[in-house]
Amino acid sequence: MDTEWFSNWQHVFKLDPDKEISDEALDQLCMSGTDAIIIGGSSGVTFENTVDLLARVRRYSVDCALEVSTMDGAVPGFDGYFVPFVLNTKEADWLMLKQLEGLQEYGHFVPWEMTSASGYIVLNEDSTAAKVSGANAKLSAQEVLPYVWMADRLLRLPVVYIEYSGMYGDMSLLARVASELQQAHLFYGGGIDHAEKAANAAKHAKTVVVGNIVYNDLTAALATVEAVKQVKQSQKA
């Protein structure tokens, strides 16, 4: 059963603290009807740029979560925290050791009830996320499924995140993953630069994450909110 603090999120904008965003653009994103802003990035994340972006998003009532990918960027005051575990990495650092280091240092301060492990399956081998984390991203659908079973059924992680960062993913694979999940909440992110792509992802993922297009085409980014909401509404009917 999906009763986590992020259960109701259908659409999310992911903002990179290492990238510039104007007050006007941020205002439109936070007022767009999206369910949350996730702050996170694969490189250049610091305490300062994370605090700065959090403070700016805090002017709005929208939920704001942190994806904790570096100890430097571990900032208090968010509504929730995702700790990513890259399931298809070859490096123990990204599977568990960095997270463990974080707990050794800050474990006593973790707000556990709003902190969730996020089981990432990184599927775009050219993405920074894949390169930084040493992910074995070239996987067939058949090869992805055991990762999904491990995350969802063995480890019982609350989140499975299908991550194509920078590239629109295989929607038939996403559909297959969705149909296999027994309890985890499915996030999809990657290459959504158009309302239609957002709508297609929303047919399968519980939460659709829109990242980079925010910086390249704000109008297209904003249109994804309504597209996702419409699909979710029709699924309810």
Q: Which residues are near ligand 1GP by CB under 6 A?
A: 14, 163, 165-166, 189-192, 209-213
Q: Residue 152 or 193: which CB sits closer to ligand 1GP? A: 193
Helix 23-30 × helix 218-236 angle, to 10°: 10
Q: How far apart are CB 163 and ligand 1GP at their closest, in Å? A: 5
Q: How far apart are CB 19 and ligand 1GP at their closest, in Å? A: 10
d(CA 178, CA 163): 14
> Which of 179, 151, 170, 187 shows the shortest CA–CA distance to 38?
187
Q: How far apart are CB 201 and ligand 1GP at their closest, in Å? A: 10
Record the tokens describing residue 37, joined without a space.
């802003």
Q: Residue 126 or 143: which CB sits closer to ligand 1GP? A: 126
Q: Which residue is nearest to ligand 1GP (CB)?
A: 189
Q: How far apart are CB 162 and ligand 1GP at their closest, in Å? A: 9
Q: Residue 182 or 207: which CB sits closer to ligand 1GP? A: 207
- The torsion of the CA quartet 40, 44, 46, 50, rounded to 10 degrees, works out to -40
Q: How far apart are CB 82 and ligand 1GP at their closest, in Å? A: 11
Amino acid occupying residue 170: D
C-alpha atoms less than 13 angstroms from C-alpha of 148 in its C-beta half-sphere: 25
d(CA 157, CA 21): 33
Q: Residue 209 or 228: which CB sits closer to ligand 1GP? A: 209
End-to-end CA, the chain:
21
Q: How far apart are CB 6 and ligand 1GP at their closest, in Å? A: 15
Q: What is the CA radius of gyration of the chain?
A: 16
Q: Residue 40 or 158: which CB sits closer to ligand 1GP? A: 40
Q: Residue 104 or 173: which CB sits closer to ligand 1GP? A: 173
